Amino acid sequence: MSTALRKRVASAFILFVAVWPLVHYGLCRTFDINPWKFNGFAMYTVPVRQIELVYVGIGNGREERIEPFEHPALAKEAKRFQQGVWTLGRLYPPHLLANMIFDEFPQYDEVLVVTGVYRINRETKLMDLDQRHYRYTRPGRDAAHPEE
């Protein structure tokens, strides 16, 4: 390897190491990815990530909480979704899991998946639960409630 090529490779590596923490921090703030993943320095700005997931089936005017780990057909995908949300945040939507819930529970017209991530509130300095709601309607049926 020539000296000029070595200098270019070294310069590119140094530039990457200098810029990546800023990009990583921006991804964490924008897409809610886990600051403890992907080798950035954003991990030093927050406590260890804690998430909560709630699954609700809606049918015949009733809402019922779904425990996917109690159903073998859903358990593997629910674990995959839990890990995906923990790592990738908003970049990992629950589309596949919602479709599997529709397959497992034909009585539900809608599925609501709520993801929650605990984060520090800058004003109160306390932990708050930041929630995102994903509402899915069974394909081929009209929604009982319009999507929010």
Assigned domain for 42 exists: yes
* Residue 83 pLDDT exceeds 60: yes
Backbone angles phi, psi at 76, to 5 degrees: -65, -45
146 located within any domain? no
Report CA Rg, the chain. Answer: 21
Tell whether 113 is covered by a domain.
Answer: yes
The CA distances from residue 84 to 22, 50, 103, 112, 147, in Å, are 23, 13, 21, 18, 24
Instruction: Determine the Cα–Cα distance for residues 97 and 104; give it in Å rounded to an integer.
Output: 10
Structure-token pair, residue 121 = 């509130």
Average pLDDT over the chain reads 87
Strand partners, 53: 115
Query: Pick from 148, 131, 139, 147: which is nearest to 54 by CA?
Result: 131
CA 142/CA 148 separation, integer angstroms: 15
Residue 144 maps to a domain: no
Counting Cβ atoms within 10 Å, is residue 20 exposed (0-12), middle (13-18) or buried (19+)? middle
Q: Do 8 and 58 fall into the same domain? A: no
Indicate whether 41 pLDDT > 80.
no
What is the residue type of 60? N
Question: Quick one: pLDDT band at residue 148, thresholds 50, 70, 90?
Answer: very low
Could you list the residue range(s) of the whole structural domain that residue 126 is in?
47-137
Query: Does 60 lie in the same domain as 29?
Result: no
Q: What is the pLDDT of residue 102?
A: 94
Quote the number of domains for the chain: 2
Phi, psi of 28, rounded to the nearest 5 degrees: -65, -45
Residues 33 and 68 in one domain: no
